[in-house]
Amino acid sequence: MFGHQFWRFGRLLILIAVVAIGTAGWASAASPSGPSVALASVAADSNENEEDDDNDNQDQGELEGQVLAVQCPLARGSRPDVAAVCADLPEGFVIPAINRGSNPPDAYVHNLDGAVRVIFTDRSLLDQFSEGDYIRLSGNRLDTFLFEAESIE
């Protein structure tokens, strides 16, 4: 008799576990909010076999993020993006988000990579956005924290 009750109890536990797992999976799939989405830092043109390419399109890509100023902190070693931008600038110095007067004109786009300096081949592109805007650019990735924009999407 004891073995029979133990077997029934075990089947009940298995049934509860299956229902709980199935309900959790169904609830997440049917959720109106959908899956969580993270901001992609670089949407580069990619091929599955990049080693086979002849490097013609490896630097082509897109960059997206928010146009914001950069403030140079005292400790720069922990953030390579800030260290690259603030190399010779004093602590607390604020680099404007958009620099129309620099040669070449540039702006700072912040994304998952951090603060990326974007230089523009066409000065008129700077008139298409302002500080705080979220933009998507097409152009060439020159370095991790340097991008050359050719157009705005």
In the structure, what pLDDT confidence band is assigned to residue 4 with cuts at 50, 70 and 90? low
Higher pLDDT: 150 or 34? It is: 150
Answer yes or no: is pLDDT of 97 > 60.
yes
Question: Which range among 13-17, 41-45, 55-59, 94-98 has the greatest average pLDDT?
Answer: 94-98
What letters, b where the CB count within 10 A reaches 16 and e where it falls short, cover 99-128? beeeeebbbbbbbebbbbbbbbeeeebbee
Question: For the chain, what is the largest distance between any 2 Cα atoms, rounded to a whole number of angstroms?
Answer: 89
Answer yes or no: is pLDDT of 22 > 90.
no
In the structure, what pLDDT confidence band is assigned to residue 56 with cuts at 50, 70 and 90? very low
| Domain 56-152 bears CATH identifier 3.40.120 | no
Structure tokens that stand for 81 in this block: 């993006």
The pLDDT assigned to 144 comes to 84
